[in-house]
Amino acid sequence: MQLTPRQEKLLKLTFLDYTQMSAFIETPLIINKAEGLYYWDADGKRYLDAIGGIFVAILGHRHPRVMEAMRRQMEQITFTPPMHGISDVTLDFIEKLGAVTPGTLDYIKPFSGGSESIESALKYVRQYFKQTGHPGKYKFVSLYMGYHGATFGAMAASGSGKRKSKFEPQMGGFIKVFSPQHYRNHFSDWASANRFAAQMVEDIIVAEDPETVAGLIIEPISNTGGIVTPTSEYFEHLRAICDRHRVILVFDEVITGFARTGAMFAAQTFGVTPDIICAGKGLSGGAMPLGAMMARADMGEAFLGPVEAEVQFAHGHTYAGNPLASAAGLAVIAEIQEKHLDQKAQSLGTYLSQKLEGLKKFGVVREVRGKGMLRGVELVKDTRSMEPFHKLGLALKKTALKNGLILRINPDWFAVAPALIAEEKDIDEICGLIEKSLVEALREVQA
Ligand SMILES: Cc1ncc(COP(=O)(O)O)c(C=O)c1O
């Protein structure tokens, strides 16, 4: 699209997340309208949104049911004071969310996004151990290349080097391990790499002294690591390790939550119940900033007591759980349940994966990964050396945008995660555009 001098001037005055504005100005995207699977830029050009905003618009943009719920809520109340009031709609939201969580994870604190819910879980776990007889437990184990948010605690739990090194020193008490994917070249099969990676988690907890380790925090499928998709057995091992050493297992389901992987939560997809789930993104379908921390009932009970005991959770945010966001969240969960979008994500996700597998004919795809409607394609220079193909991903960014397709491109891999309202014909269109853009990008890098 063509920028006006005013737009260019204003773009230089602002900051897109993790983005160099001078590069953005070269290939800008100013979006003024969105509906369903589509965006329209300021010039009126249409884009097919193959990643649901950024794993957010789970029901597509401006879903009528969510819009209507918010409109009705706006007639009643849009803000309640967070220290001395709550509205019925927020209680309804807490009830609805608690009813769809696995296990007993129905103690819920709503937030305004993913980082807030992660930040909160870190504090919650530390406070929990302080008031239940294990005051020395404070460390968190998490994955290199994981991403849990931009705030200081969430950043310390995250493992992507260059995003963090600019702000060092990081907070103390955060230990990193590698994901199974890191070890895959050392093993002849994927299951063995997973078992080894799980064993490393236990070895590190033991080496640190389990009485100092409070939590293990992990995305069931890590986006930033490249849609890293471990085996169910890996999570079974992590669950057993956490139980053995009294470590709280926290699933960061900011991306994987709300039917994306074929079940309401990836915890259910992988058949493992964590002690805490953190959610964000898809929870409001992109209509309002919304997140939530959901904790195991017996943990929640440790925060109830007489005022003098001072065991209440010492944490909060002004906009967290506001009535308007709660109304949006209620509508999203109801729509997922009524339309069985979890089942749809399974079947349509299989279809999407098969279509993406077809890209292997170009000889530059190592692997198609993911579950349900969250898929990733790893780009390599050739399938013998398996060397990452950075330049191809960078070229694909430009050709996809030119062809009116929005993907998340790393650039060594790209993610495809359309809204769950998509149908097979939409998947065909997305995959057709991916193929066209990939062919053009290949031509560009080979020239
Ligand atoms: C897995 C994961 N956790 C946490 C976050 C942070 O969420 P937010 O950007 O809403 O603060 C993100 C954001 O991309 C994420 O992908």
Each residue of 119-165: pLDDT tens digit?
Answer: 999 999 999 999 999 999 999 999 999 999 999 999 999 998 788 89
pLDDT recorded at residue 32 = 95
Q: Does domain 80-338 have CATH number 3.30.565.10?
A: no
48: its two tokens: 């097919």
Asked whether 183 and 153 are in contact (CB, 8 A), the reply is no
User: Hey, what are 182's tokens?
Assistant: 């890191």
Beta-carbon contacts of 385 under 8 Å, excluding residues fewer than 6 positions away, are none
Q: Is the CB of 118 under 6 A from ligand 1?
A: yes
b/e sequence 180-219, b meaning 16+ C-beta within 10 Å:
bbbbbeeeeebeebbbbbbebbbebbeeeebeebbbbbbb
Provide the pairing of β-strand 413-416 with 107-111.
unpaired
Query: What distance in angstroms lies between residue 62's CA and the mean position of ligand 1's atoms?
Result: 21
HEC string of 209-269?
A: CHHHEEEEEECCCECCCCCECCCHHHHHHHHHHHHHCCCEEEEECCCCCCCCCCCCCHHHH
**Confidence (pLDDT) at 311:** 98
DSSP 83: T
34: exposed, middle or buried (Cβ count in 10 Å: 0-12, 13-18, 19+): middle
Q: Is the pLDDT of residue 168 over 90?
A: yes
Query: What are the tokens at 103?
Result: 């296990």
Query: In terms of DSSP bridges, do strands 31-35 and 291-295 run parallel, antiparallel, or are they unpaired?
Result: unpaired
- Amino acid making up residue 396: L
48-85 confidence digits (pLDDT tens):
999 999 999 999 999 999 999 999 999 999 999 999 99
Amino acid 161: pLDDT: 79
pLDDT in the model for residue 228: 96
pLDDT at residue 179 greater than cutoff 90: yes
How many Å apart are CA 127 and CA 123, to the nearest integer?
Answer: 6
**3-state DSSP assignment of residue 193:** helix
- The mean pLDDT of 286-307, rounded to a whole number, is 97
* pTM more than 0.95: yes
Q: Nearest residue CA, atom 4 of ligand 1?
A: 148
Compute, in angstroms, the gap from residue 443 CA to the centroid of ligand 1.
34
Q: How far apart are CA 336 and CA 286, in angstroms?
A: 14
Cα 440 to averaged position of ligand 1 atoms, centre (Å)? 32
254 lines ligand 1 (CB under 6 A): yes
Please state the domain extents for the chain.
Answer: 80-338, 343-369
pLDDT tens sequence across 322-354 = 999 999 999 999 999 999 999 999 999 999 999
335 lines ligand 1 (CB under 6 A): no
- Going 298 to 302 to 304 to 305, the CA torsion angle's sign is positive
Q: 408 near 377, Cβ under 8 Å?
A: no
Sign of CA dihedral 114, 120, 121, 123: positive
Percent of the residues in the chain that have a pLDDT greater than 90, as a whole number: 98
Give pLDDT, residue 90.
98
Specify the higher pLDDT residue, 91 or 161: 91
Stretch 417-440: mean pLDDT, rounded?
Answer: 98
Residue 1 confidence (pLDDT): 84
Query: Ligand 1 in contact with 149 (CB < 6 A)?
Result: yes
Strand partners, 140: 174, 215
The finding on whether 257 has its CB within 6 A of some atom of ligand 1 is no
pLDDT number for residue 297: 97
**Residue range 245-263: mean pLDDT, rounded:** 98
Pocket test for ligand 1, best of 51, 281, 288 (most atoms within 8 A of CB): 281
pLDDT at 84: 92
Average pLDDT score over the chain? 97
What number is the average pLDDT over the span 283-293? 97
With beta carbons less than 8 A apart as the criterion, state whether 247 and 254 touch: no
- Using 50, 70 and 90 to split pLDDT, how confident is the model at 435? very high
